[in-house]
Amino acid sequence: MNNQDQQAGRDAAPPITAHGAARRRFARAGVGVTGALVTITSKAGMAADVCAAPSGSVSGGLQSQDPASAAACAGRSPGYWKTHDGWPVNKVLAFGAIFNCPANSSYNTCSLEDILEPKQWDNYGLGRHLAATYLNIHSGRIGFIGDRHIQRMWTELRSGYYHPKPGVDWDAEDVVEYLQATMGSKRE
């Protein structure tokens, strides 16, 4: 190995982590569109905090009525809601009362409190993360997406893919990844 080869080895970028690859895939999916409010934390080891509707457009469900004010961006994880009081809705509210589910679906009668516990039938934790997002919306912790938006995510995923914008298909894993990013570093 000559000096140039040794120097090239030292200057090579470290391999991308699975987390970094997920962020790149998420960014390619179109979240960074002009007009979207997106914040990224720079603390080492923290995930990107996404404070934008998946479409990245203001018309995609931003809740703020005053364009000069920033939408709330302090979502909490399913683990947080599972262990904390101060819920904005009744804990025994059925998941199916919020998200349209077939009558024979495990999701239908599962309470919000219960769905926050990992379930074998809850692929990628989609129900857990939708429930936490619902609680974040109703507690005022996030204001850039609303009930109709997350209900649309659920409905479209039941048919195969969620479409945050034309030509972009997200599966359940992609949606969970997005929802986790809206929950910032509060992964208690």
Summarize pLDDT for 121-154 with one digit per residue, the tens. 998 999 999 999 999 999 999 988 999 999 999 9
pLDDT of residue 187: 41
pLDDT of residue 130: 98
Q: Is the pLDDT higher at 59 or at 179? A: 179
pLDDT of residue 39: 38
The overall average pLDDT reported for the chain is 75
Q: What is the largest CA-CA distance in the chain?
A: 69
Q: Is the pLDDT higher at 94 or at 3? A: 94
Summarize pLDDT for 20-63 with one digit per residue, the tens. 555 445 445 544 433 333 433 332 333 345 676 675 532 333 33
